Amino acid sequence: MADVLGKLKGAILEFDEDAALEAAKEAVAEGVDPVKAIGALAEGLNELGEAFEKMEVFLPEIMLASDAFKAALEILEPELKKSHKEGEKAIPVVIGTIQGDVHQVGKDMVATFLTTAGFDVHDLGVDVAPSRFLEEAKKVGAKVIAVAALMSTTRPVQKDLIDFLEAKGVRDNYIVLVGGGVVTKEWADEIKADGYGQDAIATVEIAKKLLHVA
């Protein structure tokens, strides 16, 4: 199993979509836990994210790695869904990257992990205004709003969202989760977010814990 996980991570680090596809198929054939397989892919993306911050890799490479991740995910996601209980009602979650920010790789990863964990994810994409988060949450009956910020200049808009919910008198109706490369637990505490996800897996665990979902 370790060999397959290494191949998955390596394919991401080498920006190799074909290799990621083959490794994903191998993981399924060998019965590798799909959560661990996706975790290996995520490790590769996280390492590239750190390298990107240090300007050791650049946006074209990040986009190629993202394509490789998505290709492998198409193979692995059905395996995750097989473990879901039939007839189980999914809990709606609204997710998006905050207004002014167009980064999506990290947000996409969190959305994927939430989906495969059984949540009904409504992904608003990038550059999402606070009012749009609330509009969608009301529309789909969501109890969770997950907000990503990947730039120091857009991080304050996460606070704007919470202030907006307060101003509308609906703050207590929603669990607000924040995350992203520039977000810390200290920041989440400062703006009175309900939870902070350091990565995709942590975000899912926090959502489950706050919603009392097994």
DSSP 197: E
Kindly state whether residues 153 and 62 are assigned to the same domain: no
Q: Hunting for tokens 């929603």 — which residue is that? A: 174
Kindly state whether residues 77 and 128 are assigned to the same domain: no
The total of structural domains in the chain comes to 2
Kindly state whether residues 149 and 179 are assigned to the same domain: yes
- pLDDT recorded at residue 87: 47
Q: Is residue 94 within 8 Å of 137, Cβ to Cβ? A: yes
In-domain check, residue 13: yes
Kindly state whether residues 110 and 202 are assigned to the same domain: yes
In-domain check, residue 36: yes
What's 71-109 look like in SS3? HHHHHHHHHHHCCCCCCCCCCEEEEEEECCCCCCHHHHH
Domain, as residue range, for 13: 2-81
Kindly state whether residues 96 and 171 are assigned to the same domain: yes
* Local confidence pLDDT in tens for the 214 residues of the chain: 779 999 999 999 999 999 999 999 999 999 998 888 988 988 888 788 778 778 898 888 988 988 898 899 889 888 877 765 544 568 999 999 999 998 887 788 788 788 877 889 999 999 999 999 999 999 999 999 999 998 899 999 999 999 999 999 999 999 999 998 899 999 999 999 999 998 877 898 999 999 987 6
Kindly state whether residues 167 and 135 are assigned to the same domain: yes
In-domain check, residue 86: no
C-alpha dihedral sign at 108, 114, 116, 118: negative
Kindly state whether residues 143 and 75 are assigned to the same domain: no
Kindly state whether residues 197 and 103 are assigned to the same domain: yes
In-domain check, residue 87: no
pTM for this prediction: 0.73
DSSP 194: S
Kindly state whether residues 107 and 77 are assigned to the same domain: no
The domain that holds 198 is classified in CATH as 3.40.50.280
Distance (Å, rounded) from C-alpha 201 to C-alpha 195? 13
Kindly state whether residues 165 and 136 are assigned to the same domain: yes
Kindly state whether residues 65 and 114 are assigned to the same domain: no
In-domain check, residue 32: yes
Q: Find, among 154, 139, 60, the residue nearest to 105 by Cα.
A: 60
Kindly state whether residues 108 and 188 are assigned to the same domain: yes
The domain that holds 50 is classified in CATH as 1.10.1240.10
What's 118-180 look like in SS3? CCEEEECCCCECHHHHHHHHHHHCCCEEEEECCCCCCCHHHHHHHHHHHHCCCHHHCEEEEEC
Distance (Å, rounded) from C-alpha 20 to C-alpha 75? 10
